[in-house]
């Protein structure tokens, strides 16, 4: 494109605050902030293990502060991920641990100070780990006990951790790693009602500071609160359809003490379908879109995942 430059070559006179929104939206649209995961506190026998591979495509607009010299900001992301998880017992209760490593290829484009800009990134993102413990309604059971156990209301807690292991270069404004630690404590509830299951979960993301943001700047972010609800219908064993919704609020950032006008107050809706292929394999398809967006990415998402599950006797 004639006259087009990359963000890395932008002149020193461009305000860092104008680009901070691009960084935030690019990273957290595919990391965790907008994620909807039904059956996060579902029951499973102790010794259940799984490996999964997923692909997700996200595209859409990024809504920015009207006072910033940004317009027509768009995001296109391809995210590939591989993960492993297993269940085990803790003090007689069901617990689980899962690890996921993403690989991201994406483009952010927009008009900055009347100049068309575009940047493409490809590489490993930050690794994710989630530890969950069901406190009520889900005792640790082996497969035979589990099969005879009648489902009941489950209450659980979890902590999700994002470690700064991905591709990062402080010279660049847009990176695949956030170069900071992030963690999310959450409380979830799952209540079966015949073939239907109602789920709800609430938590908050907390972030450490990035002390090497774009040329050595100091970037901080306030907590980002989230609430999620799911309505799940079981068609038959291991085949289900879920209607999902989430709302998140907060996450305002500061760069070198200067507060940015980027507080989020956004909501998303989606649908997830799980199809068993055989005794061990299943396929999951998900769709989601932004419903209301005050600030950040209003993205459409299509994702497909394959999972292989087995139970260690």
Which value, to the nearest 10 degrees, does the dihedral of the CA atoms of residues 50, 122, 224, 264 take? Answer: -130
Q: What is the pLDDT of residue 249?
A: 93
Domains (range + CATH), the chain:
7-305 (2.40.160.40)
pLDDT at position 33 is 45
Q: What is the dihedral of CA 280, 286, 30, 197, to 10 degrees?
A: -80
CA 254, 259, 263: angle at the middle one, nearest 5? Answer: 85
Q: Is the dihedral of CA 64, 70, 73, 77 positive or negative?
A: negative
CA distances to 14, 34, 109, 116, 211 from 25, in Å: 19, 10, 12, 18, 19
Count of CA atoms in the C-beta half-sphere (13 A) of 163:
8
Alpha carbons 21 and 293: distance in angstroms, whole number: 14
261, 67 contact by CB (below 8 A) = yes
3-class secondary-structure state, position 129: strand
Sign of CA dihedral 181, 53, 199, 31: positive
Spans of the chain below 50 pLDDT? 1-21, 23-25, 27-34
């Amino acid at each position: 494109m004639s006259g087009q430059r990359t963000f890395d070559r932008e002149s020193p006179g461009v305000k860092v605050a104008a680009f901070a929104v691009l960084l935030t939206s690019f990273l957290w649209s595919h990391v965790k902030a907008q994620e909807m995961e039904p059956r996060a506190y579902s029951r499973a026998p102790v010794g259940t293990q799984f490996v999964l591979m997923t692909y997700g495509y996200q595209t859409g607009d990024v809504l920015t502060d009207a006072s910033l010299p940004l317009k027509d900001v768009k995001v296109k992301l391809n995210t590939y991920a591989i993960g492993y998880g297993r269940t085990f017992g803790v003090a007689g209760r069901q617990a689980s641990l899962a690890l996921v490593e993403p690989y991201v290829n994406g483009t952010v484009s927009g008009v900055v100070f009347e100049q068309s800009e575009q940047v493409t990134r490809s590489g490993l993102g930050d690794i994710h780990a989630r530890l969950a413990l069901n406190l009520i309604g889900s005792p640790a059971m082996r497969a035979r006990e589990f099969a005879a156990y009648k489902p009941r209301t489950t209450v659980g807690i979890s902590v999700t951790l994002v470690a700064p292991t991905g591709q990062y270069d402080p010279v660049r404004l847009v990176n695949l790693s956030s170069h900071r630690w992030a963690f999310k404590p959450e409380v979830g509830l799952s209540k079966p009602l015949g073939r239907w299951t109602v789920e709800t979960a609430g938590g908050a993301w907390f972030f450490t500071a990035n002390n090497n943001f774009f040329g050595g700047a100091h970037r901080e972010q306030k907590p980002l609160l989230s609430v999620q609800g799911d309505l799940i219908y079981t068609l038959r064993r291991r085949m289900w359809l879920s209607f999902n919704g989430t709302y998140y609020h907060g996450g305002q950032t500061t760069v070198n003490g200067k507060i940015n006008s980027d507080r989020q107050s956004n909501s998303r809706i989606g649908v997830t379908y799980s199809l068993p292929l055989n005794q061990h394999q299943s396929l999951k398809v998900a769709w989601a879109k932004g419903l209301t967006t005050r600030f950040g990415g209003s993205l459409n998402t299509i994702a497909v995942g394959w999972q292989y599950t087995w139970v260690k006797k």
